[in-house]
Amino acid sequence: MNIPAKVKQEIAELRRHLEYHNRLYYTLDTPEIPDADYDALFDRLLELETKYDAVTPDSPTQRVGDKPLDQFEQVTHELAMLSLDKVFGEQDLRDFETRVLKRLDSEDRLEYSCEPKVDGVAVSLLYHDGVLQRAATRGDGITGEDITHNVRTINTIPLKLDGKKLNGRLEIRGEIFLGKDGFERLNRRAEKEGSKVFVNPRNTAAGAVRQLDSRKAARIPLQMYCYSVGIVDSIPLPNKLSEVFDLIGSWGLPTNPDRSTEQGIDGCLKYCLGLQEKRDALDYEIDGAVIKVNDLTTQQELGQNARTPRWAMAYKFPAEEKSTTVLDVEFQVGRTGTITPVARLDPVFVGGVTVSNTTLHNMDEIERLGLRIGDTVIVRRAGDVIPKVVKVLRPKKNKKAKAIKLPKACPACGSPIEKDGDVLYKCSAGIICPAQRKESIKHFASRTALDIEGLGDKLVEQLVDEELISNVDDIFALTSEQLIELERMGQKSADNLVAAIEKSKQTTLPRFLFALGIREVGDATAQALVAYYGDLVPIMDATAEDHEQVPDIGPIVARHIETFFSNKENRALIDKLISHGVNWPKVEKADTQALQGQTWVLTGTLEAMPRNEAKALLVAQGAKVAGSVSKNTDCVVAGPGAGSKRTKAEELGIKIIDEAEFLSFLDSLK
């Protein structure tokens, strides 16, 4: 098409402007114009390029899509995206090498590629003839989501590889992450603009790659380090992983500069310790190192378990600890009225997140720590575990410290506080207390319960404060007209929420039971109850003695369940929920439970599922899951890092299986 000279000039100018602002925004962190003005320039360029068919591959519009997607396409990984086994210390890493050498029937010293274990999101990039065709998340390893539109916005990922004869397909895998610097810049900006700050780099990166609107993803300065190759059609590659990294790096793919090739496990250990030393100085978050057999033929020979390769191991760093000050202690009222002391901390970055408050559990814990307001404390956080105050530093020296006192009345409703068991205190008001009401509604809407998308904690508080709801069943009477009256709620969000509430009515019985918020009935117990009784009515009508027959339910929980269902108000609530349309498919009760009467023990780390899920699956099959190994144990599932329980099982000659065997065993029961 013939493009008028004036238009040509405008296009060139717009591109120059956008590139200039991109640089200010992403590289220099000194944006000169508000986002809306940037969007206007971008939209104008897009309009002209479309109208005059004037797109060029290097145009700023080519990294960002023009319209948000409606949904993600599913992608099936031709070669499964594996996960990693992990160890936490020297001996376990040595054991890894022993296993590898045994399998290879060799005593030779092996060469390893050692790399930082970047804390981000695993992705697969598929290039056809050197051109980026598709990017996908790992998902469950087999099926991921197509995130090409977002990955195209990452400036350091080449849209076209800079190499010769790159014929056919080449799949590159790696970790997309947000650097510490980028994270801080984002949060400085968010603070300045008064918008919500991001919790940690990992979550921010994960959120960005899963944006339907690539323009939103483009605002997050994501990076990527490539760590392996998947499908390769016909491009010849070197036979050592370290050399593959050098080669793909020469094509423009970003590889980790902190990787290293090491000889033997001693070399790897030195690398791991060195990396741990410089962890804080790195510009990106890591949670350990990854050790991989460097020779690719040897990798193939070693093969894989169900979900993890036998030739690689993650060496996880120990929990991180930092010191900070306790600014204050507040008392929170939970769903069942329990009053919990929470420390407000001078914000500190530890284990990958900024921690500004943390639970102190109960008054006994405060006494045990000898904690007072104003004290300097050590906070520890590992992985996804809740941060914990582990120690008070120089307790005696702090003259200004103030004692922590349990309030006399409930901080939410002013009702008297009463003792609950040996260490806990609770508000005596029950469901009249607004804090308890809010917490039970939050619980009801949460992910593991009815999973009402969009009904988060803040909104629940707002709805209760505005008196639009006061109990869980009120949720189902909410209308879009009521919702738009709320501050910061648009028509679209209101409609979405009403639709999500409607959708949540179709649930499952374990979810429903869990959502009711019976004391100490978590999702595993809810599943065990359903597996045992098969329906709601028998659960409601059973006695505490009956409940004690359910695997893993003890006398205390049994009594909580009985008490809950003997309360008339609770029964009326269940009726109301059902009359609002909450329903679940009939439960197929297993006639025979494969593990009836057996006792199992779970130890070490499980990769594929959280431990409570594994436990629930066993319980559903009739097994009891015990915390320690004895001669009555039937089977031990031992993940990496298993220690004394595994040894004891070996001594007693009890069957031990790894997670892969456990998974295929569960499969065989289906």
Report DSSP state, residue 196. Answer: P
Per the document, the length of the chain is 670
Given 14, 18, 75, 84, the residue binding ligand IVH (CB under 6 A): 84
Choose the stretch contacting ligand IVH; rule: CB under 6 A; options: 16-24, 28-36, 113-121, 399-407. Answer: 113-121
Given 11, 14, 48, 82, the residue binding ligand IVH (CB under 6 A): 82
Cα first-last separation, the chain = 61
If one asks whether residue 177 binds ligand IVH (CB under 6 A), the answer comes out as no
Choose the stretch contacting ligand IVH; rule: CB under 6 A; options: 78-86, 158-166, 391-399, 415-423. Answer: 78-86
Q: Give residue 341's Cα distance to chain centre.
A: 26
Within 126-145, the residues that bind ligand IVH by CB under 6 A are 138
Give yes or no: 402 in active site. no
Choose the stretch contacting ligand IVH; rule: CB under 6 A; options: 80-88, 198-206, 324-332, 419-427. Answer: 80-88
If one asks whether residue 290 binds ligand IVH (CB under 6 A), the answer comes out as yes
Given 112, 227, 245, 662, the residue binding ligand IVH (CB under 6 A): 227
If one asks whether residue 118 binds ligand IVH (CB under 6 A), the answer comes out as yes
- Are 642 and 614 contacting, i.e. CB atoms less than 8 angstroms apart? no
Choose the stretch contacting ligand IVH; rule: CB under 6 A; options: 117-125, 488-496, 575-583, 635-643. Answer: 117-125
If one asks whether residue 639 binds ligand IVH (CB under 6 A), the answer comes out as no
Q: Which is nearer to ligand IVH, 214 or 228 (CB)?
A: 228
Given 309, 341, 510, 640, the residue binding ligand IVH (CB under 6 A): 309
If one asks whether residue 258 binds ligand IVH (CB under 6 A), the answer comes out as no
If one asks whether residue 633 binds ligand IVH (CB under 6 A), the answer comes out as no
- Are 331 and 341 contacting, i.e. CB atoms less than 8 angstroms apart? yes
Coil, strand or helix: which one is 81? Answer: coil
> Tokens 């998340």 sit at which residue?
137
Q: Which residues, including other chains, have CB under 8 Å from residue 588's CB and lie 6 or more apart? A: none
CA atoms 124, 127, 130, 132: torsion sign: negative
If one asks whether residue 215 binds ligand IVH (CB under 6 A), the answer comes out as no
- Are 390 and 323 contacting, i.e. CB atoms less than 8 angstroms apart? no
Q: Which residues, including other chains, have CB under 8 Å from residue 617's CB and lie 6 or more apart? A: 666
Beta bridge partners of 125: 135, 172
If one asks whether residue 175 binds ligand IVH (CB under 6 A), the answer comes out as yes
> Tokens 């003792």 sit at which residue?
419
Q: What does the alpha-carbon distance between residue 505 and residue 474 come to, in Å, rounded to a whole number?
A: 13
If one asks whether residue 449 binds ligand IVH (CB under 6 A), the answer comes out as no
Q: What is the DSSP string of 36-73?
A: HHHHHHHHHHHHHHHHTT---TTSGGGTS-SS--SSPP
Residue nearest to ligand IVH (CB): 122
Q: Closest approach of Cβ 411 to ligand IVH, in Å?
A: 41
Q: What is the DSSP string of 215-277?
A: HHHHTS-EEEEEEEEEEESS----SBHHHHHHHHHHTT--B-TT-EEEEHHHHHHHHHHHHHH
If one asks whether residue 85 binds ligand IVH (CB under 6 A), the answer comes out as no
Q: Which residues, including other chains, have CB under 8 Å from residue 202's CB and lie 6 or more apart? A: 119, 120, 121, 177, 178, 285, 352
Q: Which is nearer to ligand IVH, 123 or 618 (CB)?
A: 123
Q: How many residues sit in the footprint of ligand IVH (CB under 6 A)?
A: 15
If one asks whether residue 310 binds ligand IVH (CB under 6 A), the answer comes out as no
Q: Which is nearer to ligand IVH, 317 or 331 (CB)?
A: 317
Pairing of strands 143-145, 339-350: unpaired
86, 117, 645, 648: the active-site residue:
117
Given 87, 93, 229, 314, the residue binding ligand IVH (CB under 6 A): 314
Choose the stretch contacting ligand IVH; rule: CB under 6 A; options: 87-95, 309-317, 378-386, 462-470. Answer: 309-317
Six-digit token pair at 282? Answer: 């790195």
> Tokens 């593990």 sit at which residue?
595
If one asks whether residue 248 binds ligand IVH (CB under 6 A), the answer comes out as no
If one asks whether residue 115 binds ligand IVH (CB under 6 A), the answer comes out as yes
Q: In which element (H, E) is residue 380 found? A: strand 376-381
Q: Closest approach of Cβ 556 to ligand IVH, in Å?
A: 37
Q: What does the alpha-carbon distance between residue 60 and residue 443 come to, in Å, rounded to a whole number?
A: 45
If one asks whether residue 439 binds ligand IVH (CB under 6 A), the answer comes out as no
Q: Which is nearer to ligand IVH, 173 or 547 (CB)?
A: 173
- Residues noted as catalytic: 117
Give residues in contact with ligand IVH (CB under 6 A).
Answer: 82-84, 115, 117-118, 122, 138, 175, 227-228, 290, 309, 312, 314
